[in-house]
Structure 1
């Protein structure tokens, strides 16, 4: 496939004026916050791939081990003639394990907000699966999607959402996203989703504070992006990465913390920071199996199957419409 033919969605990244308003609104809020999608410019996407290689980052290791052990069983559950739509496809490493085991898939639709990783992934997939129609979509998966017309009618559409990205949304947002997915998958469809499980706090915190400092560089790259795209003057040395586990909320909370009292130019105005003041940039919720089933139920979904990695630290779950399974 000619990568120049990529279907580029109108606006995975807002224009500078829209980005400026998002930054201003978030930095004026109390407490300050910025959306986590700001991580994923070309440099941020590359840094995230490096995070996944760090020894402390158990999520990728466990999910990959799970897929290696259970990909055939997962593919059998999905059935024949599936259109597979992946939210936040990235490098699609785990997806290849699934595609290798699927029976006569109709098409694969990777949905990715960053065009460079999407193009690279499509090139690799075309080489590995030359007979599989790949229909890439550069878009923000949290918005309503206009999926490409498949080359033939699928028996079902399955939305694949790996990597525990659902944990980056609070309960209200996660419920809304699952409801949107329920609509997009159709009456006979399903959702195959990665869900990180609750475990010892030290293991969780280490995954978001790797010794090599890659996660800290990834977090600070958000400020690099704002400096480049908006002409801000964030001093990277004046901020530090912080990620800690909030046991009460059951989630990692990642922030950029001001090391001193300072002012930063954002557009034509300045934003003041106190020493120790934080910008919340991401959450990463961890669930018990019962908690996630309850969340799915709020979105009109039920858990049909659950697969666990050998260490039982991570799960992949298959969701269908509530009441669609004969008892």
Structure 2
């Protein structure tokens, strides 16, 4: 597919946005439904949570007292960004799933303060968000160039531009998103990310750490019910996008920590038997009373798991930075020499 390129003339023409999403990409939801909802154990990938309503609900989740990951990661970035920049000497930051670049701004500010900042490469499926954050950032940081990629960070990494003048760069995968992959898929994806790294480049990725299961479960099943609304909203997405007839309120939100696999699962449990028609797919489904649809896994990590995953991808851990309470880690890694 040919890319659609647009360059703005503002801020000394320092913004370039490329879109690699087209008609075929809108079939992703339908494909995932056909695959996941016809399995003996029904499931959907969590990326379909994030329509406009889902994104707003997740922003609310990040402010909840029970939801520690965002707070802890921000604490690490506030306290250690200058150290990360000094360690890497990075002139460029590539961010997967950039969103509003709220946390990333701390790294960019540290790079600017160190005098190394040259280019930011955000990758996100929401074009309006990429454009808005690009405009804000070039106005905030003199001389910064932004090369935005509108695309899926799993499918469009080949469009990431080569480093500026061969200088060192950080590829950032913030949040705990790496934990949404199953173990085999996680290692394959890390191997793919390693191909973006030259000998002087670094991967910076967030991992939620194994801890008291009660703390983890509370983060995914808050007392205000915001996460429950976030979880049920995926059924509203299916109704709107695929002409389905789910009744979101007929499903209970379920979140539990699997102690053997050391991951949290979110599920939707049918309160009573359901007959579902997904009109655009001509697909009929049934849910028995108590039957569950898995909507997310989120793996939690030990230092051994982090090192093992990196080693399987041909990388090595340089340093793991944690918040004061030791709940979350930002990991700096590079390709193994």
TM-score by length of 1: 0.92
**CA distance in 2 between partners of 1:108 and 1:15 (Å):** 27
Residue pair 1:88, 1:161 contacting (<8 A) in 2 also: yes
**CA distance in 2 between partners of 1:262 and 1:237 (Å):** 12
> Does 1:42 find its partner at 2:42?
no
Deviations 1:64-104 (A, max 9, x none): 11111111101111204x22110111121111111111132
Match of 1:283 among 289, 292, 297: 297
**CA distance in 1 between partners of 2:101 and 2:93 (Å):** 12
Shift of the alpha carbon at 1:130? Answer: 4.1
Partner of 2:3: none
**CA distance in 2 between partners of 1:11 and 1:311 (Å):** 44
Partner of 2:271: 259
Match of 1:299 among 313, 318, 323: 313
> Does 1:317 find its partner at 2:331?
yes
With 29-38 and 139-148 compared, the bigger mean Cα shift is at 139-148
**CA distance in 1 between partners of 2:88 and 2:268 (Å):** 41
**CA distance in 2 between partners of 1:307 and 1:188 (Å):** 20
Shift of the alpha carbon at 1:157? Answer: 3.0
**CA distance in 2 between partners of 1:199 and 1:13 (Å):** 41
Partner of 1:217: 229
Partner of 1:271: 285
Deviations 1:219-261 (A, max 9, x none): 1111111111111111111112211100110000111111111
- Report the CA distance shift for 1:207/1:11 in structure 2 as closer, same or farther (over 3 A): farther
- Report the CA distance shift for 1:188/1:35 in structure 2 as closer, same or farther (over 3 A): same
Partner of 1:231: 243
**CA distance in 2 between partners of 1:176 and 1:21 (Å):** 21
Match of 1:96 among 77, 86, 105: 105
- SS at 1:249 equivalent: coil
1:126-165 correspondence to structure 2 within 5 Å? 126-147=138-159, 149=161, 152-165=164-177
Shift of the alpha carbon at 1:139? Answer: 1.0
- SS at 2:296 equivalent: strand
Partner of 1:52: 62
With 130-139 and 177-186 compared, the bigger mean Cα shift is at 130-139
Partner of 1:8: 19
Deviations 1:118-142 (A, max 9, x none): 3332233233224211111111111
**CA distance in 1 between partners of 2:92 and 2:156 (Å):** 18
Residue pair 2:29, 2:48 contacting (<8 A) in 1 also: no
Which ranges of structure 1 fall in alignment gaps of 5 or more residues?
Answer: none
How large is the RMSD of aligned CA atoms in angstroms? 2.1
Number of residue-to-residue matches in the alignment = 321
- SS at 1:141 equivalent: coil
Residue pair 1:66, 1:309 contacting (<8 A) in 2 also: yes
Which ranges of structure 2 fall in alignment gaps of 5 or more residues?
Answer: 1-6
**CA distance in 2 between partners of 1:285 and 1:111 (Å):** 23
**CA distance in 2 between partners of 1:139 and 1:12 (Å):** 12
- SS at 1:14 equivalent: helix
Shift of the alpha carbon at 1:37? Answer: 1.1
Deviations 1:123-175 (A, max 9, x none): 33233224211111111111242345469414123210111111111110110
**CA distance in 2 between partners of 1:20 and 1:147 (Å):** 25
Deviations 1:54-73 (A, max 9, x none): 11110011111111111110
Shift of the alpha carbon at 1:317? Answer: 0.9
**CA distance in 1 between partners of 2:79 and 2:160 (Å):** 31
Shift of the alpha carbon at 1:289? Answer: 1.1
Shift of the alpha carbon at 1:185? Answer: 1.9
Partner of 1:83: 92
